[in-house]
């Protein structure tokens, strides 16, 4: 199993640009989520999904959209990037909603 | 979710046991204690969790006090690769999906 994969590993955007961060898992996990981690900070939940077609907001959802059309994929869309969205983004998945979550390697995003 | 308190940083000599404490004095009866770690620049990694009994797996042991107000994560033979930030999280497994990562303990394993 590849586990949780994320692409790209690193991205530079200009303010106002849009982009999609990709996340995929091959463990048939129902639950998937996106976190962001700012320097010296813990992780904060952006959006999560409890299954295909179902998504919900986390702690810091503004400026981000998600969709879940398949069990495997959970992309995160930045509609109009802002410097405040400079961060490291982690995708995670788990089985049955348990809090034993598996994290991807992260995407480092720099917004200029 | 119960608030957890951990030391900001700790050192441990390679080959020795690393004992990482966590205080969760307001923990309720249905809240589990989870431990994760994050090695520099990598995604968090699940280590272990427990409710009230001590737990052991291939990575670590978790000792929870009888009153459940504190716990200790034990890495029995720390290696340089165990240098990481360790997060103690006390949450109800049915309270929603988010993991409430705090600041954690930065463990430095030295040669």
| 3-state secondary structure labels for all residues of A6-65 | EECCEEEECCCCCEEEEEEECCCCCEEEEEEECCCCCEEEEEEEEECCEEEECCCCCCEE
pLDDT of A41: 78
- The answer to whether B10 and B24 are in contact (CB under 8 A) is no
What pLDDT is attached to residue A24?
98
Which residue from B82, B37, B57 is spatially nearest to A42, judged by alpha carbons? Answer: B37
From the list A93, A100, A98, A74, the residue with the least C-alpha distance to A29 is A93
Q: Residue A98 has what pLDDT?
A: 67
Residuewise pLDDT in 10s, chain B (111 residues): 678 999 999 999 999 999 999 999 888 888 889 999 999 889 999 999 999 989 999 999 999 999 999 999 999 999 999 999 999 998 866 656 677 788 899 999 999
A42–B104 CB contact, under 8 Å: yes
Candidates B39, B17, B96, B31; CA nearest to B64 is B31
Inter-residue contact A44 to A59 (CB < 8 Å) = yes
Q: Indicate yes or no: CB of B46 within 8 angstroms of CB of A31.
A: no
Task: Find chain B residues with C-beta within 8 A of A43's C-beta.
Answer: 44, 99, 101
* Contact assignment for B45 to A103 by CB distance below 8 Å: yes
The pLDDT score that the predictor gives to residue B95 is 58
Shortest CA distance from B35: residue in chain A:
A100
Window 10-39 of A: residues touching B by CB (8 A cutoff) are 31, 33
User: In the predicted model, what is the mean pLDDT of residues A46-65?
Assistant: 92
Closest B-chain CA to A98:
B93
> Among B99, B102, B103, whose Cβ lies nearest the Cβ of A99?
B99
Mutation for testing the A interface, residue in B43, B86, B106 having most A CBs under 10 Å: B43
User: Looking at residue B28, what is its pLDDT?
Assistant: 85
Residue ranges in chain B assigned as alpha helix (H): none
For position A1, what pLDDT does the model report?
74
The span from the CA of B53 to the CA of B98, in Å, is: 24
Is A106's CB within 8 Å of B41's CB? Answer: yes
Report pLDDT for B37.
Answer: 97
Q: Is the pLDDT of residue A110 over 80?
A: yes
Quick check: B32 and A103 CB within 8 A?
no
Q: Per-residue confidence at A23, pLDDT binned at 50, 70, 90?
A: very high
How far apart (Å, rounded) are the C-alpha atoms in residues B60 and B74?
Answer: 6
Residues comprising chain A, all counted: 112
CA distance to A46, A76, B35, per residue, from A63 (Å): 10, 10, 30
């Amino acid at each position: 199993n590849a586990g949780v994969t994320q692409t790209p590993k690193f991205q530079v955007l200009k303010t106002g640009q849009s982009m999609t961060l990709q996340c995929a898992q091959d463990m048939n996990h129902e639950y998937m989520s996106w976190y962001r981690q700012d320097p010296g900070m813990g992780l904060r939940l952006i959006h999560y999904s409890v299954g295909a077609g179902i998504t919900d907001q986390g702690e810091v959802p503004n400026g981000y959209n998600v969709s879940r059309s398949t069990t495997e994929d959970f992309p995160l869309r930045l509609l109009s990037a802002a410097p405040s969205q400079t961060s490291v983004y982690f995708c995670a998945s788990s089985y049955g909603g348990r809090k034993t979550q598996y994290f991807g390697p992260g995407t480092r995003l720099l917004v200029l | 979710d119960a608030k957890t308190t951990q030391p900001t940083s700790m050192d441990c000599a390679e080959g020795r046991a690393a004992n990482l404490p966590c205080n969760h004095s307001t923990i309720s009866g249905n809240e589990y204690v989870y431990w994760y770690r994050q090695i520099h620049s990598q995604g968090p990694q699940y280590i272990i969790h427990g409710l009230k009994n001590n737990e052991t797996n291939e990575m670590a042991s978790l000792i929870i006090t009888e009153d459940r107000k504190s716990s200790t994560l034990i890495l029995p033979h720390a290696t340089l690769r165990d240098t990481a930030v360790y997060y103690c999280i006390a949450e109800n497994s049915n309270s929603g999906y988010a993991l409430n990562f705090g600041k954690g303990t930065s463990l430095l394993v030295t040669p």
